[in-house]
């Protein structure tokens, strides 16, 4: 059974640029959530995708967007990067079968983004 | 406005003793609570959870206690082992409302030899 994988693991961008982060969900999982973890903070919910549609969003601006593909993999796109976007971006998958998610998420190792 | 609070950034415990990690929450609508453990350079891993209809859940060395009236939960690890040294995140959700899982800032647990 393959776990959640994310790419790239590290990347450096400059302010104003755009970035795409990728995530492959664990086998059999149809739901993908993205979290941002800034230094010294807990993971903050960005959004979740279920059946290729956004299914819940946290308090992040529209320049944070995402996609989910038919194979349940997902992308997180961030436009017009700001210095405060520097963080660890975590992808998590779960085998959601109906409304409500008990939150037993399976996380990848994360993509560490540095914005200069 | 932090809905899940872990007020102790770090905790040191002697190997073999009990580790108690605390968590407070402000949203009375939360109905499911979880603890995650994170090692450096790894993603968080699920440890244990508890539904709001229970006040205790046990899994091996790990026990989570929930006090709804105080909006407080705690994670007990007995006995503490060196491999327990990690960052522990408390998290909560409203299962029947949406899928947003709210995390605390974490507590770094050091198990001393």
- pLDDT values of chain A reduced to their tens digit, one per residue, 116 residues: 568 999 999 999 999 999 999 999 988 888 899 999 999 899 999 999 988 999 889 999 999 999 999 999 999 999 999 999 999 999 999 886 555 556 688 999 999 999 99
Contact A103 B42 (CB under 8 A): no
Alpha carbons A48 and B14: distance in angstroms, whole number: 40
Residues linked to residue A112 through DSSP beta bridges, in sequence order: A10, A88
Contact A44 B96 (CB under 8 A): no
- The pLDDT of residue B2 is 82
- The pLDDT of residue A27 is 85
| Residue A29 in contact with partner chain B when CB distance is under 8 A | no
How far B89 CA sits from the closest chain A CA (Å)?
Answer: 7
Contact map slice: A 65-94 vs B, CB within 8 A:
90, 92
Which of chain B's residues have a Cβ under 8 Å away from the Cβ of A96? 99
Contact B99 A55 (CB under 8 A): yes
Model pLDDT for residues B68-90, shown as the tens digit of each residue: 999 999 999 999 999 999 999 99
| Residue A58 in contact with partner chain B when CB distance is under 8 A | yes
User: How high does pLDDT run on average in chain B?
Assistant: 93
Residues linked to residue A78 through DSSP beta bridges, in sequence order: A19, A64
Q: Which two tokens stand for residue B81?
A: 């082992």
Instruction: Pick B91's closest partner by Cβ from A31, A90, A103.
Output: A103
Which of chain B's residues have a Cβ under 8 Å away from the Cβ of A48? 99-100
Which residues lie closer than 8 Å to B70 by C-beta, 6 or more apart?
B24
Alpha carbons B100 and A52: distance in angstroms, whole number: 17
B2: left (phi over 0), alpha (psi -120 to 50) or beta: beta
- The pLDDT of residue B97 is 64
The C-alpha R_g of chain B, in whole angstroms, comes to: 13
């Amino acid at each position: 059974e393959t776990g959640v994988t994310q790419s790239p693991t590290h990347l450096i961008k400059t302010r104003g640029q755009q970035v795409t982060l990728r995530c492959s969900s664990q086998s059999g999982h149809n739901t993908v959530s993205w979290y941002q973890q800034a230094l010294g903070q807990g993971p903050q919910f960005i959004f979740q995708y279920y059946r290729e549609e956004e299914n819940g969003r946290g308090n992040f601006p529209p320049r944070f967007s995402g996609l989910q593909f038919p194979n349940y993999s997902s992308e997180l796109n961030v436009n017009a990067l700001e210095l405060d976007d520097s963080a660890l971006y975590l992808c998590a998958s779960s085998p959601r079968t109906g409304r409500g998610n008990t939150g037993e998420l399976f996380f990848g190792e994360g993509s560490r983004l540095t914005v200069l | 406005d932090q809905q899940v609070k872990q007020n102790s950034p770090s905790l040191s415990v002697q190997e073999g003793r009990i580790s108690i990690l605390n968590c407070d929450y402000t949203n009375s609508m939360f109905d499911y609570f979880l603890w995650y453990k994170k090692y450096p350079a790894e993603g968080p891993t699920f440890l244990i959870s508890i539904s709001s209809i229970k006040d205790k859940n046990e899994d091996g060395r790990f026990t989570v206690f929930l006090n709804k009236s105080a909006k407080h939960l705690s994670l007990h690890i007995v006995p503490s082992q060196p491999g327990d040294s990690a960052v522990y995140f408390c998290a909560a959700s409203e299962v029947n409302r949406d899928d947003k899982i709210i995390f605390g800032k974490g507590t770094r647990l050091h198990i001393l030899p």
